[in-house]
Each structure stands twice: as structure tokens, then as C-alpha cells.
Amino acid sequence: MMRGNMNNMMKQMQKMQKQMAKAQEELKDEVVEGTAGGGVVVVKANGHKEVIEVNIKEEAVDPDDVDMLQDLVLAAINDALNKVDELTNKRLGQFTKGLNIPGMF
């Protein structure tokens, strides 16, 4: 009887593992936007934390203040990556049901 329960549990875990792998792969197709400076810098990243696009409006480019532009780009990238984390937690959190597994995400 116990062996049957273990087999069922193993089958359920394998099924969940496949579903989770599929959800992780689907994240690659998800795109989030991070912004800074009221939208003068926009960064797009996919669900695998790959920056796929950077848009800088012309009014953000001041040759006398390159430091500010660099700060805006960094802020937009960090905003996008934080949104990827939120998306990942939302999509994959259903599999962990609140468990905190280090290195999982």
C-alpha cells in the first residue's frame, strides 16, 4: 500500500516538474518594460532576464550630462529586471505554493 502511494507521488512530482519546465520556457516569450525618467528611457526584457531592447528618447541625450543618462539606463534596466522577477514569481509560484527554495528563481 505504501509503495502505491510513493509511485503516485512520484508520478505527480514528475508531472509538476514537466509543467514547471514548460512554464519556465514560456517565460522567454514574455516581455516586460522598465522605464526611467518619466519614460525617456525604456528597457524591454524577456522572462529569462535578457535585455532585448533599449529606447532612449532624444530629449534624454545631453552631451554635457552623460552621467545622468547612464543613471537613467541603469534605473530602467533594474526596473525591467524587477518586473521579470515579479512575473516569474507569479507564473512559477503556483508550483512552489509559497515555499522558499533558495536558487529556485
Q: What is the pLDDT of residues 12-68, one digit of tens each?
A: 888 888 888 888 888 889 999 999 999 999 999 999 899 999 999 988 778 888 899
Model confidence pTM above 0.85: no
Cell of 22: 514548460
- Helix intervals (H) in the chain: 2-26, 66-96
The band of 1, judged by pLDDT with boundaries at 50, 70 and 90, is: low
Report the CATH number that the domain containing residue 48 is assigned in CATH.
3.30.1310.10
Residue 25 is assigned to a structural domain of this protein: yes
Question: What DSSP assignment string belongs to 47-72?
Answer: TTS-EEEEEE-GGG--TT-HHHHHHH
Residue 104 is assigned to a structural domain of this protein: no
Residue 72 is assigned to a structural domain of this protein: yes
Structural domain of 17:
2-96
